[in-house]
Amino acid sequence: MRILGLDYGSKTVGAAVSDPEGMVALGLETIIRKEENKLRRTLARIEELIEQYKIERIVLGYPLNMDDSVGERAKKTEEFRELLMRRTGLPVILWDERLTTMEANDILIESGVPRKDRKQVIDKIAAVLILRSYLDFTRENET
């Protein structure tokens, strides 16, 4: 089963996909929009990815605050989750994404990616980290 991992931001959505066995998370792209609430093209692109990769489940990064509270960004993510479920008919799992953007930035720095180029790929890398965390958790908790 292939799983789509998404890192939903105010103007971007990072996308990653698992291999069919659910062992590896691969970065796909960063979907960019001009305005936060203009989601039609973003949703259409996600639907194209779902069809192209035969996705059966979506894992959506859930940006809880460090104290586990639900802030404004997490509420917007919950709304996006509802849109995704209605539009795709797929299950959408909210997955704790705290610190993934910082970790993605550290990976890019260690890889020597110049600061000016990081913004273009950081959300895709964060999506990979979110999906990898989910895949690792599900493998570790299989019975």
pLDDT tens-digit series, residues 16-71 = 999 999 999 999 999 999 888 889 999 999 999 999 999 999 999 999 888 988 99
Task: Determine phi and psi for 22, rounding to 5 degrees.
Answer: 70, 30
In this prediction, what percent of the chain has a pLDDT beyond 90? 63
Q: Beginning with the edge strand found earlier in the chain, give each strand of the sheet holding 92-96 in spatial order.
A: 25-32, 12-18, 2-8, 55-62, 92-96
Instruction: Please tell me the predicted confidence (pLDDT) of residue 83.
Output: 95
Please give the Cα distance from 4 to 59 (Å, whole number). Answer: 6
Q: In the chain, how many domains are there?
A: 1
pLDDT range class, residue 114, cuts 50, 70, 90: confident
Contact 134, 3 (CB under 8 A): yes
CATH at residue 82: 3.30.420.140
CA neighbor of 98 nearest in space, from 62, 60, 133: 62
Please give the Cα distance from 60 to 1 (Å, whole number). Answer: 16
Give residue 123's domain range.
2-140
> Is the C-alpha dihedral spanning 9, 45, 22, 2 positive or negative?
positive
* pTM for the predicted model, two decimal places: 0.90
